[in-house]
Amino acid sequence: MADKIAKLLAKIPPKQLSVIRSVIAQILASNFEGLDIKVMKGDKNVFRVRTGNYRIIFIVQPSSGPKIISISRRSEKTYRDF
């Protein structure tokens, strides 16, 4: 999964990449203030953060904290697997 995320991050324009990286750092630090977060339907531990045209989907595990599952450009397929 980490390889898939790294490949996507390599394709993002530098201006948007800096914003996405700061949001990722905020998520991994469990600092959710100021983020556009919504709970995904069907699972109370899976969330999405909206950053422009990109969506960051992550899970919060009580034992280990947040883990990034997916980063993708908003499309019809973005939420299909969740």
Report residue 70 as tokens.
Answer: 């997916």
Q: Evaluate whether residue 64 is within a structural domain.
A: yes
Task: Identify the pLDDT of residue 3.
Answer: 78
- Enclosing domain of residue 50: 2-73
Under 8 Å between Cβ of 23 and 51: yes
Q: Domain tally for the chain?
A: 1
pLDDT tens profile 31-42? 999 999 999 888
Is residue 20 within 8 A of residue 54, CB to CB? The reply is yes
For residue 82, tell me if it sits in a domain.
Answer: no
Looking up residue 26, the CATH number of its domain turns out to be 3.30.2310.20
Residue 38: the pLDDT is: 93
Q: Report whether pLDDT(52) > 70.
A: yes
pLDDT (tens digit per residue) in 55-71: 999 999 888 889 998 88
Across the chain, mean pLDDT equals 87
Q: What is the pLDDT of residue 81?
A: 64
From residue 13, give the alpha-carbon distance in Å to each of 3, 33, 38, 45, 66: 18, 25, 25, 30, 25
Domain assignment present for residue 22? The answer is: yes
Q: Is residue 78 part of a domain?
A: no
